[in-house]
Amino acid sequence: MKITFKLFATLQDFLPPEAKKTNALPLEIESTTTVMDLVKRFSLPEKLVHLVLIDGNFVPPGERASRTFQEGETLAIWPPVAGG
Amino acid sequence: MAWNRKLLRVDLSKGTCTSEALNMQWAQEYLGQRGLATKYFIEEVDPKVDPLAPENKLIMATGPLTGTPASTGGRYSVITKGALTGAIACSNSGGYFGAELKFAGWDMVIFQGKSKKPVYLSIEDDKAELKDASHLWGKTVFQTEEIIKKSHQDPQIRVASIGRSGENGVMFACVVNDLHRAAGRSGVGTVMGSKNLKAVAVRGKNGGGAIRDPKAFMAATVAAKKVLADNAVTGQGLPTYGTQVLMNVINEMGALPTRNHRDVQFEDARKISGEAMHEKRPTDGKAQLVTNAACFGCTIACGRISKIDETHFSVVNKPEYWGASGGLEYEAAWALGAANGVGDLEALQYVNVLCNEDGFDPITFGATVGAAMELYDLGILTKEQIGMDAPFGSAKALVELAQMTAKGEGFGKELGLGSARLCEKYGRPELSMGVKKQEFPAYDSRGIQGMGLAYATSNRGACHLRGYTVASEVLGIPVKTDPLVTEGKADLVKAFQDATSVFDSAGVCVFTTFAWTLADLQPQLDAACEGDWTMEKLGLLGERIWNMERLFNNAAGFTAKDDDLPPRLKTEPAKTGPAKGLVNGIDKMRPEYYKARGWSAEGVPSKETLARLGL
């Protein structure tokens, strides 16, 4: 299935160069692929995988190893960040 | 250098500067800065006063940790009755001015009356005098600071001043210090301008008052700095990307107010984000961001310093804007960008510099442009009235309107009213997106429910810095809560509001709370200040300050009806994103909040609550 994979802030360095301009990479994945599978595939340091959203909804740490995807969903990940 | 035990009273009508002993009993009950200055203000000013009348007062106040080695200990606040809101106003700023005021030996300065002609206050340690500012009137903030430093032959003088907007009666004028830092909201600069007070210039060599237990204080500040350094947000996230990293976060969450809150996601959010500020431009091969920057004593350094593309239409042939300057921060980038649909990063930075240069709040200004663009879109405002086409998304209109507002020309005068008065004037008051006549900041409360309650009940009008539940609802600090539900938000908002009141009264930055809790602040205060500053005392202190401000607003004429959101947020569901189909549940949360506060159904603190808090 097709999903969109987004990495932001310092994590964008783990995207291919062509994807950095948009922070987004279209991905073709298996239906059994989980959030954590993608974290490992892109070699993201786990301590930097902080804010994880699928279509804008928060995925708690305890669900990331089991959460799979629906066609067309967007996964977005940030390291620890804040603002105001 | 906790309290200096001394305040400066400046009577602008009489032209006098008088030293007074600080009320140390009040200091024990209200700490400093926001709390203590508000106590002075409320004791001395009629709540019904016209904000622009000479009878209104304006206080610049430091906290006991201002000017100390505590991290971020450089803060000061400006307390008055807000020109924009008519409510209690307390605008907090960083930079170096607050610490310098402390080094000069003063805890706060109370301005009263009105000068017959423009003046500025010069403070050099114990010596304070009002000086003629006729030559400064009509000058920008940048020019004023430069002229004062040159005339005093002292580049280390710290200056807080108003720009032309504060002179021209723009209702959301700021007090700007150190060029890029501002006591930004509620029109505190407008009040300063109404008093013919152009600037305060301060040089301090006294070093300030005594730390109660220097050894314990240094140990406490070192430990607290380690907490900030070890925390991934304050140690790495904020220094690297600043607050602007939130642009994509909040957009993905469907809580980025767009085109005057018609939408909750902005298609060009990425173009105006923190990530975009780091990217090299095709025109000159340079990134907009030059470096990060820190205020006095800050070990976080979230500030942004940027350079505008010299070929951009806004600054071409204007070399005075080609140098490095403050910005963009998230709130300004949102208000000047998404709020009116403009996705031009260079235009946003240019307008942000204008806001600093002439001292007007970019949040209210940007949101007011958004409201004007909606009025234009609806055909209520015409090209002839505005002086140009002003559709949503027009960077050209944004830039021209900012220039007109800074100079007080043309339609800029109408924008200077703020969105509430502008929309009222054109018969569509419901299109002003704010509370108590102050515009919302950068979080749509349909997608972050708790912020709707925080906005509605903020004592200074819509504001994110009075109770930043975004920390919990979005970022998981200190614990993650669901942004889409109302359950539990009354207690959450109250907890954030009370804790923030303490931080705002201590002299440190509220951004420390991404890593610190009151338990990290308490040992620093306890070591610095005389008296026993226990956790229990701090908890009561925050609640006391909040209720004190509430009592002032109630006496000024505000009621429960003013603790509300515009109809759009209660009746027009979010169109996209996780909150699609949702409106804000303020009507459910408000009574729960009043109950949690110990207030009546009308929003009035009960006798029991006041007695418990010693009010």
Q: Least CB-CB distance to B464: which of A9, A53, A84?
A: A84
Per-residue pLDDT band at B261 (split at 50, 70, 90):
very high
Q: Residue B105 falls within a domain, yes or no?
A: yes
Å from A2 to nearest chain B CA?
A: 19
Let me know whether B51 and B159 are in one domain: yes
Contacts of A83 in chain B (CB under 8 A): 238, 242-246, 330
Identity of the amino acid at B490: A
Nearest CA in chain B to A83: B243
For residue range B63-93, list pLDDT tens digits in order. Answer: 999 999 999 999 999 999 999 999 999 999 9
Dihedral angle computed from the Cα positions of residues B53, B56, B438 and B422, in that order, rounded to the nearest 10 degrees: 0
Let me know whether B486 and B381 are in one domain: no
Domain final position from B156, B181, B203: B203
Q: Least CB-CB distance to B514: which of A8, A9, A82?
A: A82
Identity of the amino acid at B100: E
Let me know whether B64 and B134 are in one domain: yes
Instruction: Choose the weakest-confidence range: B234-238, B374-378, B594-598.
Output: B234-238
Burial of residue B609, with CB atoms counted within 10 A of its CB: 0-12 exposed, 13-18 middle, 19 or more buried:
middle
For residue range B487-529, list pLDDT tens digits in order. Answer: 999 999 999 999 999 999 999 999 999 999 999 999 999 999 9
What's the pLDDT at B209? 64
Model ipTM value: 0.98
Cβ atoms within 10 Å, residue B322: 13
Q: What is the DSSP letter of B79?
A: E
Contacts of A82 in chain B (CB under 8 A): 233-234, 237-238, 243, 245-246, 471, 475, 477, 511, 514
What's the pLDDT at B316? 96
Q: What is the CATH number of domain A2-78?
A: 3.10.20.30
Mean pLDDT of all residues in B273-287: 96
B232 and A47: CB-CB below 8 Å?
A: yes
Mean pLDDT of all residues in B342-369: 98
The rounded distance, in Å, linking the Cα atoms of B364 and B422 is 12
List the single best residue of A73, A78, A81 to mutate versus B (max B Cβ within 10 A).
Answer: A81
Contacts of A74 in chain B (CB under 8 A): 252
Q: Residue B353 falls within a domain, yes or no?
A: yes
What domain range is B335 assigned to? Answer: 258-432
What's the pLDDT at A84? 81
Domain final position from B400, B432, B464: B432
Domain final position from B203, B237, B270: B203
Q: Please, what is the average pLDDT of chain B?
A: 97
Q: Quick check: A83 pLDDT over 90? A: no
Contacts of B474 in chain A (CB under 8 A): 51
Q: What does the block give as tokens for B223?
A: 């430990």
List the single best residue of B247, B253, B265 to mutate versus A (max A Cβ within 10 A).
Answer: B253
B510 and A53: CB-CB below 8 Å?
A: no
Domain harbouring B51, CATH code: 3.60.9.10
The residues with which B605 forms a beta bridge, in sequence order, are B599
Q: What percent of chain B has pLDDT over 70?
A: 100
Going by C-beta distance under 8 Å and a sequence separation of 6 or more, which residues neighbour residue B464? A84, B331, B441, B442, B443, B451, B454, B455, B470
Q: Residue B397 falls within a domain, yes or no?
A: yes
Let me know whether B577 and B496 are in one domain: yes
Residue B337's nearest CA partner among B277, B276, B269 is B269
Residue B496's nearest CA partner among B482, B510, B515 is B510
Q: Quick check: A51 pLDDT over 70? A: yes
Q: Residue B251 falls within a domain, yes or no?
A: no
Quote the number of domains for chain B.
Answer: 3
What's the pLDDT at B207? 79
A81 and B237: CB-CB below 8 Å?
A: yes
Nearest CA in chain B to A50: B475
B470 within 8 A of B476, measured Cβ to Cβ: no
What residues in chain A have their Cβ under 8 A from chain B's Cβ atoms?
Answer: 6, 8-10, 12, 21-23, 47-48, 50-51, 53, 55-58, 60, 74, 76, 78-84
Let me know whether B474 and B395 are in one domain: no
Let me know whether B504 and B397 are in one domain: no
Per-residue pLDDT band at B208 (split at 50, 70, 90):
low
What's the pLDDT at B243? 95
Let me know whether B157 and B118 are in one domain: yes
Let me know whether B63 and B158 are in one domain: yes
For residue range B139-168, list pLDDT tens digits in order. Answer: 999 999 999 999 999 999 999 999 999 999
Q: Quick check: B98 pLDDT over 70? A: yes
Q: Residue B237 falls within a domain, yes or no?
A: no
Q: Residue B220 falls within a domain, yes or no?
A: no
Contacts of B237 in chain A (CB under 8 A): 9, 79-82
Let me know whether B149 and B78 are in one domain: yes
Q: What percent of chain A has pLDDT over 70?
A: 100
What's the pLDDT at B1? 62
Cβ atoms within 10 Å, residue A12: 19
List the single best residue of B92, B230, B251, B252 to mutate versus A (max A Cβ within 10 A).
Answer: B252
Domain boundaries, chain A: 2-78
